[in-house]
Amino acid sequence: MNHYQNRIAGCFVLAMFFLSWGGVWPASADTLPTAGSNMRVYVGTYTGRNSQGIYQFDLDLATGKPGPLELAGEAANPSFLTIAPGGKFLYAVSETTGGGGGAKKEGAVNAFAVDPVTGKLTLLNQESSRGQGPCHVSVDRAGKFALTTNYSSGSVTVLPINADGTLGASTAFDQHEGSGPMKGRQEGPHAHSVNMDPANRFAIVCDLGLDKVFVYRLGGDGTLTPNDPPTAQVAPGSGPRHFTFHPNGKFAYVVNEMGSTVTAFNWDADKGMLTEIQTISTLPDGVSMPNNTTAEVQVHPNGKFLYASNRGHDSIAMYSLDPATGKLTSMGEVPSGGKTPRNFAIDPSGTWLLAAHQNTNNICVFHIDSSSGKLEPTEYSVQVSHPVCVKFYPPAK
């Protein structure tokens, strides 16, 4: 057993806890993917003494066992990653906020070429994000534009992608204005994520500082035009953070960082309009944790389950999802195996969930029961300094 990867204390203790009541995987052989199939995993980090940038490892889809960790490419604070359609290029923000002498410094988006065999990343170029603290980047479904949000300054930027994968100067920029009711967190706008809709017509931006989800029309020339209506609202002080669509394209979900909730929406694909269905807690019934903050939200590929991460409670909240109505029903929470589960990823087959812990420097591997949607801890983990983002390669189509 490789102790460097597979028996980091947090995940090992968690696995032993579940083993004591019979809940630990492995499941029966007939639930496993084909033996010998591997997927590459990229990890974005906060850089410093123990991290140089973006890392990679292979995950055995039959067992959940990770391979050796390697440095894929160097970058400054590549806290969030995205992979362009086709898998030839990877884009990463450089999350920077301030320069020397108190001067503000714009963050950047890095363009990398991906070696399909080794996974190594070659830097192609870097473009300004036109704001401070870029924290999220995505690529439109045609692979023509990279969209990024600047958390610290509260703005969204569009960068064109050239045929060779390099980024051009921005074609669109929108600065959010206003504030929210929570002092210290909502003194101004904080754009936190940007995602394209399934039809590749609308860009959806969550702004934590304003309690709003912005909807823009993305033009073929890379312009952004506010939709009508331009925003959807969540409860005051909730702090919308990350966003995901249901595979059927009819529903969407926002995880609210400060409210420790998930808000479900109907999605009108023609009008680009979000209408709230439900808001549900990410914490156990009766539990109040003012210092808890949520981070990631994702729908299982089969559309029957949804997961959200709690930082503070340090757990993954699990929900059953009604594909007919979009409504969620809590299935409880499972300890995430470390502190501050900043991000997680589900492999395209829906068999494995990888939970990345920013403050305990580990990524824990969970098996997903295909029938119940429950997360089952394994003995496997990967040790990496300050992991912030996990991406499977190639991404799901």
* Confidence bin at 23 (pLDDT 50/70/90): very low
State how far Cα 228 lies from the chain centre: 27
> Model confidence over 240-274: pLDDT tens digits?
999 999 999 999 999 999 999 999 999 999 999 99
Q: Could you read off the pLDDT of 366-394 as tens digits, one per residue?
A: 999 999 999 999 999 999 999 999 999 98
pTM: 0.91
Q: What are the angstrom distances between the C-alpha of 169 and each of 58, 216, 262, 306? A: 34, 20, 35, 37
Is the peptide bond between 229 and the residue preceding it cis, with omega within 30 degrees of 0? yes
- Contacts of 240 by beta carbon, 8 Å cutoff, 6+ apart: 192, 206, 207, 208, 211, 212, 213, 234, 254, 255, 256, 257, 263
16-20, 142-146, 170-174, 223-227: which range is least confident on average? 16-20
Chain segment 197-208, per-residue pLDDT in tens: 999 999 999 999
pLDDT bracket for residue 58 (50, 70, 90): very high
pLDDT for 105 = 82
Read off the pLDDT of each residue in 39-53 and give the average, rounded to a whole number: 96
Query: What value does the mean pLDDT take over residues 288-304?
Result: 96
- Cα(64)–Cα(24) distance, rounded to whole angstroms? 13
Element (H, E) at 203: strand 202-207
Residue 340: pLDDT band (50, 70, 90) is very high
Mean pLDDT of 43-67: 96
The two three-digit tokens of residue 266, written as one number: 């109907």
Q: How far apart are CA 117 and CA 190, in angstroms?
A: 38
Q: Does position 4 have pLDDT exceeding 90, yes or no?
A: no
Angle (CA) 58-298-379 rounded to 5° is 45
pLDDT at 104: 61
397 vs 11, 115, 301, 372, CA distance in Å?
Answer: 30, 19, 11, 24
Secondary structure percentages of the chain, helix, strand, coil, to 5: 5, 50, 45
Average pLDDT over every residue of 57-80: 97
pLDDT value for 18: 35
pLDDT reported for residue 394: 85
Kindly tell me if the per-residue pLDDT of 21 is higher than 50.
Answer: no
Classified as helix, coil or strand, 322 is coil
Mean pLDDT along residues 76-87: 97
pLDDT, the chain, mean: 91
pLDDT of res. 31: 38
Identify the pLDDT of residue 33. Answer: 42
Pairing relationship of beta strands 89-94 and 224-233 according to DSSP bridges: unpaired
Q: How far apart are CA 367 and CA 358, in angstroms?
A: 21
